C-alpha cells in the first residue's frame, strides 16, 4: 500500500539521544533547552527575523487573528485545509471567500477588492501546496484599504520567494509541523513576523499571557511546543536536505512522464524556490478523476483529493458559489509524494494514469 504521504521517521536512537537531554534536565515543557535550540536552528535555516515554536499549526492562526485584533470580515480562500476557515469562525469573525486563480490555485488577487466592505479587517490567504500568493498585489491592496495580512503558510517549510523566506511576507505567517508536513515535530507549528512588537505580543498570547510567574500581560492561551515535540524536530532537522532531494526527484519524474492535454499541473509562481510539498494533478473532469483513482487504488496506490470538499460549502457557513475553486476541487488529486518514494513506484503510477487517458 502506497499512501499519499508518509511521515519521515529519524533513526530511533537519534531521537532517544536527544530525548535523554530532557530527562537529564528533568524538564519536558515550558520552553526548555530543546525548544530554544530548535527555534535557533530553524531561524538560521529558514533565514527569518523571528520564530515562535507552537504545539500545532492551527493555534498560530487563531493567535494571529487575536493579536491583530481582527473584527468583522476576513477575506480568505476556499481552497485550503479547513483550519484556515475554522480559525476565522472560531475567533468570532466572518470568512468572506474570494475565488482562486486557475493556474496558481492561490486566492485570485484581482477579485479581492470587489469583496472588501467597511467591515473587512484583514486578508487571510494560503500559499497553497507551497505556492506563494501574489504577495506584492496583496500588500498593495492591504495598504490601500488599511487591512492586515496573515498567510497560512502551513505547506511552505523551506520555500523562498524572490530570495527571501516566504514566512517574511505579510504581518504574520504561520506554519505547521504536523507529521504529514515536510518538516515535522509529530504535532507542531510556528508563528513568524518581522515586526518585533508584534512578536512580543504573539509570545505572550501563546503562553497564557504570563509575564513572569505572578503577573499577566493580557489575555492568552496555551500553544507552547513541548520538549518532546522539539526533540522530534531536532532529530528530523539533519535530514532536511535529503528529504527535499528525495521529493524533488519524484516530482521531476512525475513532471516528465505526465504529459497529456487532459492533465493540468500547478503553476509555481516565478521567483519561487519551491519545496516539492505536494503533487496536485488537475484532471479534465471529476469522472476522469474518479476512474483513475479507482484504478490506482486497485493497484495499491492511494492518492488523495486535496482540497475536497471545498471550504465555502462547510455546513456552518452560508454557501456562496466559487466557480473556479469548486471545479478545481472536484478535479484535483494529489499523487503519492514522500521522501523514500521509489522511482519505480512513481513510474508505475504514471503508467496507470497514462493508460487510462
Ligand atoms: C496542516 C494545515 C494546517 C493545520 O496544521 P496543524 O498543525 O495540523 O494544526 C493549517 N492550514 C493548512 C493549509 C494545512 O495544510
Distance 256 CA to ligand 1 centre (A): 30
- Domain 2-238 architecture: 3-Layer(aba) Sandwich (3.40)
Mean pLDDT of the chain: 97
H helix or E strand, kind and range, residue 44: helix 33-46
**pLDDT at 78 exceeding the cut of 90:** yes
Mean pLDDT of 146-171: 98
Q: What is the CA radius of gyration of the chain?
A: 21
> Residues 271-293: what's their mean pLDDT?
98
What is the rounded average pLDDT of the residues 189-193? 98
Q: C-alpha grid cell for residue 216?
A: 499577566
The pLDDT tens digits for 127-143 are 999 999 999 999 999 99
Pocket test for ligand 1, best of 60, 76, 78, 83 (most atoms within 8 A of CB): 83
Cβ 238 vs Cβ 89: under 8 Å: no
CA distance 115 to 117: 7
Q: Helices 286-298 and 343-356, interaxial angle, to 10°?
A: 130
pLDDT recorded at residue 61: 98
∠ CA 229-21-54, rounded to 5°: 25
Domain with CATH 3.90.1150.10 in the chain: 239-356
Q: Which distant-in-sequence residues (6+ apart) come within 8 Å of 337 by Cβ?
A: 4, 5, 247, 250, 251, 254, 276, 277, 278, 279
| Pocket (CB within 6 angstroms of ligand 1) | 56-58, 80-81, 83-84, 126, 152, 154-155, 176, 178, 189
pLDDT score of 123 more than 90: yes
CA of 259 to the centre of ligand 1 (A): 31
CATH of 239-356, one of 3.40.190.10, 3.40.50.2000, 3.30.360.10, 3.90.1150.10: 3.90.1150.10
What own/partner pairs with CB < 8 Å and gap ≥ 24 does 116-119 have?
116/75, 116/141, 116/145, 116/147, 117/73, 119/71, 119/72, 119/73, 119/94
**Is the confidence at residue 319, as pLDDT, over 90?**
no
> For a pLDDT cut of 90, what percent of the chain falls above it?
99
Residue 129, phi-psi category: left (phi > 0), alpha (psi -120 to 50), beta (remainder): left
Band the pLDDT of 223: cuts 50, 70, 90.
very high
Question: Using CA atoms, how far apart are residues 191 and 50, in angstroms rounded to an integer?
Answer: 8
**Residues forming CATH 3.40.640.10 domain(s) in the chain:** 2-238
Atom of ligand 1 nearest to the CA of 177: 7
Ligand 1 mutation pick, 80, 106, 154, max ligand atoms within 8 A of CB: 154
Nearest ligand 1 atom, CA 84: 11
In this structure, the dihedral spanned by the alpha carbons of residues 269, 272, 276 and 278, taken in order and rounded to 10 degrees, is -30
Assign 180 a pLDDT band (cuts: 50, 70, 90).
Answer: very high
Average pLDDT over residues 234-251: 97
Between CA 85 and CA 77 the distance in angstroms is 8
Tell me the β-bridge partners of 148: 122
Per-residue burial over 152-166, b = 16 or more CB atoms within 10 Å of its CB, e = otherwise: bbbbbbbbbbeeebb
How many CB atoms sit inside 10 A of residue 301's CB? 20
User: Mean of the pLDDT values across residues 74-87?
Assistant: 98
Q: What is the pTM of this model?
A: 0.98
Amino acid at each position: 500500500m502506497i499512501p499519499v504521504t508518509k511521515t519521515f521517521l529519524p533513526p530511533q536512537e537519534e531521537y532517544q539521544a536527544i530525548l535523554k537531554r530532557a530527562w537529564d534536565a528533568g524538564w519536558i515543557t515550558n520552553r526548555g533547552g530543546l525548544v530554544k535550540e530548535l527555534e535557533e536552528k530553524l531561524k538560521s535555516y529558514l533565514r527569518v527575523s523571528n520564530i515562535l515554536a507552537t504545539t500545532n499549526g492551527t493555534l498560530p492562526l487563531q493567535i494571529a487573528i487575536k493579536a491583530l485584533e481582527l473584527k468583522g470580515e476576513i477575506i480568505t480562500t476556499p481552497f485550503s485545509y479547513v483550519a484556515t476557515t475554522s480559525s476565522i469562525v472560531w475567533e468570532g469573525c466572518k470568512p468572506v471567500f474570494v475565488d482562486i486563480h486557475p493556474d496558481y490555485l492561490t486566492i485570485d488577487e484581482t477579485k479581492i477588492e470587489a469583496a472588501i466592505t467597511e467591515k473587512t479587517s484583514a486578508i487571510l490567504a494560503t500559499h497553497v501546496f507551497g505556492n506563494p500568493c501574489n504577495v506584492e498585489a496583496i500588500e498593495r491592496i492591504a495598504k490601500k484599504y488599511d487591512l492586515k495580512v496573515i498567510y497560512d503558510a502551513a505547506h511552505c517549510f523551506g520555500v523562498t520567494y524572490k530570495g527571501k523566506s516566504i514566512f517574511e511576507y505579510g504581518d504574520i505567517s504561520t506554519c505547521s509541523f504536523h507529521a504529514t508536513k515536510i518538516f515535522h515535530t509529530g504535532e507542531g507549528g510556528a508563528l513568524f513576523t518581522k515586526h518585533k512588537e508584534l512578536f512580543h505580543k504573539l509570545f505572550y498570547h501563546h503562553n497564557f499571557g504570563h509575564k513572569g510567574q505572578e503577573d499577566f500581560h493580557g489575555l492568552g492561551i496555551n500553544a507552547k511546543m513541548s520538549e518532546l515535540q522539539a526533540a522530534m524536530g531536532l532529530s528530523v532537522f539533519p535530514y532536511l536536505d535529503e528529504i527535499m532531494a528525495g521529493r524533488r526527484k519524484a516530482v521531476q519524474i512525475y513532471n516528465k512522464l505526465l504529459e497529456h492535454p487532459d492533465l493540468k499541473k500547478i503553476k509555481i509562481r516565478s521567483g519561487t524556490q519551491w519545496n516539492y510539498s505536494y503533487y496536485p494533478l488537475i484532471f479534465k473532469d471529476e469522472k476522469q478523476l474518479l476512474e483513475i483513482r479507482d484504478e490506482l487504488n486497485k493497484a495499491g496506490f492511494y492518492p488523495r483529493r486535496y482540497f475536497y470538499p471545498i471550504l465555502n460549502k462547510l455546513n456552518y457557513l452560508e454557501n456562496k458559489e466559487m466557480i473556479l475553486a469548486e471545479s478545481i476541487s472536484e478535479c484535483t488529486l494529489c499523487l503519492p509524494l514522500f521522501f523514500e518514494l521509489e522511482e519505480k513506484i512513481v513510474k508505475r503510477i504514471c503508467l496507470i494514469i497514462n493508460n487510462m487517458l
